[in-house]
Structure 1
Amino acid sequence: MHSQYHSGERKAQQLAGEQDIADAREGMVRPAIPRQVFEWLREQTLLAVATMDAAGTLWATVVPGKPGFLQPDANGTHLWIERAMPHAVLADLKSGGNIGLLAIDLNSRQRMRINGTATALPAGLHVSVQEAFFNCPKYITRRTALPSAANNETAEHEGSRLLGEHLQLLSETDVLFLATTHPERGLDVSHRGGDPGFVQLLPDGRIRLPDYTGNSLFNSIGNLLVDSRIAIAIPNLHSGSILQITGTATIAWHDRDEDDSTGGTHRFVDITPIAWRTEEGGPVSRGASELSPFNPHPHAA
């Protein structure tokens, strides 16, 4: 029987000892958006986006919108994004058109990944859907996020070495979005969350992300085992700016984790940054926030 999983996902499932669970979840990834989520999708106001530029560099960003800006067709095989997109996203799509999307409702902690190819429209995008699937609500901080006043039409700054303000944002955030790629399956973007401080800054300049227990599909890590390119987007929910970092990643399996920062998996994604850019016009948080009850709470050794 043909498997929905590619070789990298299979290898990750085996290394984690979770292949049996993944086998039982065959069919989670569908070739179209399920009809029963159409209305939910139309209500969403936050979208994470993964693209790749002409040089083969992977990028991720966050695009807020108004309810109704995501419109699936009757079969769920096409999605229209009715919102002017950042210039960087439009430029990246000219190089091939692959796109990874994540619609996420921070208040209800619901999220759905939609991957495929995209073409630019005068005021938005048309996406041909190739994969669509829900993820569980774990590790999402409950909050209300609204579009900031600015439009994220241009990248305001860029560089190759992370600045002090970037390191501070990384050390304080409880949310980021992670993009990966596969030579046949295309792009994918997923949510990563935890208590503030869950992102670790290593002495050699790498960024370490703990990999918590998930759905056992290992879509992101499976991609990384085939192609090490990675990108993360960290929204500054106070200012509305978005820090985008691109680089390469390695997976640390069964690593030392004395303070239990992984929640028991002993698994990390270690990112070597190559370049960064920032955009304005991302989401801002309003009112109180509530950390996920599923977050691991690291303790001193």
Structure 2
Amino acid sequence: MSTIFHEGQLAVQKIAGEEEIAKSRIPMVKNSLHPRSIGFIEHQVLAFPGSEDYNGHIWLSLLVGERGFIQVPSEQEIKLDLSKVTSNLDDIFFKNIATKPTVGLLFHEAARRARYRAWGTARKEGNQLSFDIKLGYPSCPKHIQREVIEIRKDSKIEVSTYEKGTILGELEKEWISHAHTFFIATQTKKGDIESSHRGGNPGFIEIQENGHLRVPDYLGNSMFSTLGNIYENPKAALLFVDYKKGETLQLSGTAELQFNQNSNEDFHTSGETGRFWTFETKQWIRTINHHVVHTEFLDFSPFNIPSAH
């Protein structure tokens, strides 16, 4: 039987014992966009592209724009009007695609607990950024906290400031330790990039003594796109967004899988999967004055796992 899953995904599906469930998901994945996804994508004011820099490190970014800045002329192409982007246009993403056009896209609407993922390659022509789509599919809505995000009028960012480092400082650790949501980009062995989301109750990300992050892997759609990529390629990137402050925190580094973590605490903390993964930060960028939006938090996902303490 032919499959769209690569070796890393198949290996993790087997370890998790979810191979048959994964096979049932195959019809979800297309070598284009789903026709029903077009309206959803065009409605978004946020886009999360993952990209690779000239040194081979991957990064995950946030683009914010006026509603309508995303257009989908066909099931094979997505276009962004950069003149309608209101967030920082000096993001590392734009430098990266100049040398390596492979991009992983996530369209995430927290208010509706909906998200859609796509892969492709980017082409920039003036104020037009086009993505030729190779693959697209809807993603699991679990663990999305409901939050309304709206673009303010006349909110275009002209100048941003940056903090950069290789070791997480106390401010960055404080941000991460209280986060209920972050975004992740991973890369296949062949070089394709995927962008996705992770969520949980504040404190679900553990900061270990060595500075590594440890994240539980909750039950999802059983395809294991993210974990499957990490299985065969450790490169990863994380993105944290503070919508109220208008700041982003981008981490680039490596990830490692941890299976069969079955102590009483780990079993509970992981939602009874016994699966975790760790992330080691190699570089980070904190962007101040990245965007201006209006945001209203509504509620946490009912699928979030309560604390073991």
One fold, TM greater than 0.5? yes
Which residue in the other structure is 1:184 paired with? 190
User: What does 1:186-265 correspond to in 2, within 5 Å?
Assistant: 186-259=192-265, 260-265=268-273
Instruction: Sort the Cα spacing of 1:167 and 1:151 in 2 relative to 1 into closer, same or farther, 3 A.
Output: same
Instruction: Sort the Cα spacing of 1:198 and 1:147 in 2 relative to 1 into closer, same or farther, 3 A.
Output: farther
Equivalent-residue separation in structure 2 for 1:242 and 1:130 (angstroms): 28
Amino acid at match of 1:22: A
Q: Secondary structure at the match of 2:284?
A: strand
Is 1:113 equivalent to 2:113 in the alignment?
A: no
Which segment is superposed worse, 229-238 or 80-89?
A: 80-89
Equivalent-residue separation in structure 1 for 2:103 and 2:159 (angstroms): 18
Instruction: Sort the Cα spacing of 1:147 and 1:166 in 2 relative to 1 into closer, same or farther, 3 A.
Output: farther
Unaligned residue ranges in structure 2 (runs of 5+)? none
Equivalent-residue separation in structure 1 for 2:276 and 2:252 (angstroms): 17
Per the TM alignment, residue 80 of structure 1 is displaced from its structure 2 partner at its CA by: 0.2
Contact 1:87 / 1:153 at 8 angstroms: preserved in 2? no
User: What does 1:10-21 correspond to in 2, within 5 Å?
Assistant: 10-21=10-21
Contact 2:187 / 2:235 at 8 angstroms: preserved in 1? yes
Amino acid at match of 1:275: Q
Which residue in the other structure is 1:25 paired with? 25
Which residue in the other structure is 1:277 paired with? 285
Equivalent-residue separation in structure 1 for 2:159 and 2:14 (angstroms): 42
Contact 1:49 / 1:101 at 8 angstroms: preserved in 2? yes
Q: Secondary structure at the match of 2:62?
A: strand
Instruction: Sort the Cα spacing of 1:245 and 1:155 in 2 relative to 1 into closer, same or farther, 3 A.
Output: farther
Per the TM alignment, residue 150 of structure 1 is displaced from its structure 2 partner at its CA by: 5.9
Q: Deviations over 1:202-239 (max 9, x none)?
A: 11110011110000000011111111001000001321
Equivalent-residue separation in structure 2 for 1:59 and 1:112 (angstroms): 19
Q: CA RMSD in A?
A: 1.8
Which segment is superposed worse, 202-211 or 85-94?
A: 85-94
Q: Secondary structure at the match of 1:94?
A: helix
TM-score (norm 2): 0.92
- Percentage of pairs with the same residue: 26
Query: Which of 72, 97, 104 is the matching residue for 2:108?
Result: 104
> Aligned residue pairs: how many?
299
Equivalent-residue separation in structure 2 for 1:249 and 1:216 (angstroms): 19
Q: Secondary structure at the match of 1:32?
A: coil
Which residue in the other structure is 1:156 paired with? 162
Q: Secondary structure at the match of 2:272?
A: coil
Which residue in the other structure is 2:79 paired with? 80
Greater fraction of residues in helix: 2
Is 1:298 equivalent to 2:307 in the alignment?
A: yes
Equivalent-residue separation in structure 1 for 2:201 and 2:294 (angstroms): 16
Q: Secondary structure at the match of 1:222?
A: helix
User: What does 1:37-48 correspond to in 2, within 5 Å?
Assistant: 37-48=37-48
Unaligned residue ranges in structure 1 (runs of 5+)? none
